[in-house]
Structure 1
Amino acid sequence: MALLETWRNLAYGDGLDDKKREELWAGYFQIEKGIYEQILSNPTQVITGTVKELAETYGTELLIMTGFLDGINESLKGYENPIDTMEEDTLVKIEIDPEKLYYNMVEAKADWLYQLPMWDSILTEERRRELYKTQKASGTIRKEKKVFPNDPCPCGSGKKYKKCCGRNMK
């Protein structure tokens, strides 16, 4: 069984009761924060190694590193690691795209990550605010105002909608 499947079965499956799963995630979030603190202290660094080597480098278990790699995969520059087929000897690369990473942290509601002090030296406060707003707006569903036949046409012609742009709507 590939590492990712084992991780997902453990973290999301029926293998643990609610209390054990809660403990797993609490521990995972602390480890994840520590890894991000190290990565963000030198955000231009390209980190490479096998999954097992990275787990050893960051002082964590193989499955926790697998979960981390799964979480960061969409925030990498121009490529993704083969997480679906990853084994402990699979060579992986971590080269973050800071804006993608920040955006994805906001999307995941991971305030313990997107509020890390390292972001101050990576992205300006203004840029972080823009990314935050963009991400939050992406989930907002806006209901367009319905235009009725006798309403003024939204194109600005001054005609009624039914005599202008609405004419071809049948």
Structure 2
Amino acid sequence: MALLQDWQSIAYNKETDKNKLRNFWQNYFMIEKGIYQKLLANPEEVVRGTVKELADKYEIDVLTMTGFLDGINDSLKVKNPIEEMTEDTEVSLDFDTEMLYKNMVDARADWLYNLTEWDAIFTPEKKKELYVEQKKSGTIVKGKKIGRNDPCPCGSGKKYKYCHGKNK
């Protein structure tokens, strides 16, 4: 079985006691925060290695590293093959800083996007701009509703109710 499936069976197990699961996630989030602090301290350095080597580097177990790799994957310049990853799979943590920040905002991970390490990467204005941009990207804007007696938007010249609004 691939590492990702093992990670998911532990992290998202619906039969696990809620308190145990909450403690599991709190522990994971602290580990995750520590790894991001190290990565953001030197954002130009591209960290590479096998899953096992990276787990050893950050002093965590392989499954926790798998969870971290799953979380950061959408922020990487080149995605890792997380679906079929094993301990010996070569992976890279070459992340796009703006994408990583926005993904942290999207995940509502304030403990990550408020890390002090971001201050050396982005100005407060840039962080606010990225934050607002990410928040707006999830906002759905509905167009103006067409009234029954308005001209049909297809350009036929007929009222909407007699044209494309006929069957509504």
TM-score by length of 2: 0.87
Displacement of 1:130 after TM fit?
1.5
- TM-superposition CA deviations, 1:95-146 (whole Å, max 9, x none): 1100000000000000000000111111222222121111111222222221
Aligned to 1:35: 35
Superposition misfits of 4+ residues, deviation over 6 angstroms: none
The number of equivalent residue pairs is 160
Aligned to 2:20: 20
Task: Give the Cα separation in 2 of the matches to 1:21 and 1:119.
Answer: 29
Residue identity in the other structure for 1:90: T
Displacement of 1:147 after TM fit?
3.3
Aligned to 1:126: 125
The unaligned stretches of length 5 or more in structure 1 are 152-160
Displacement of 1:165 after TM fit?
4.2
Secondary structure at the residue paired with 2:141? coil
Aligned to 1:144: 143
Superposition RMSD in Å: 2.0
Q: Does the 8 A contact of 1:149 with 1:166 survive in 2? A: no
Task: Give the Cα separation in 1 of the matches to 2:75 and 2:152.
Answer: 48
Aligned to 2:166: none
Aligned to 1:167: 157
Residue correspondence of structure 1 range 1-170 to structure 2 within 5 A: 1-14=1-14, 16-77=16-77, 79-148=78-147, 161=151, 165=155, 167=157, 170=163
Q: Does the 8 A contact of 1:9 with 1:15 survive in 2? A: no
Task: Give the Cα separation in 2 of the matches to 1:72 and 1:18.
Answer: 25
Say if 1:17 and 1:164 are closer, same or farther in 2 by CA, change over 3 A. Answer: closer
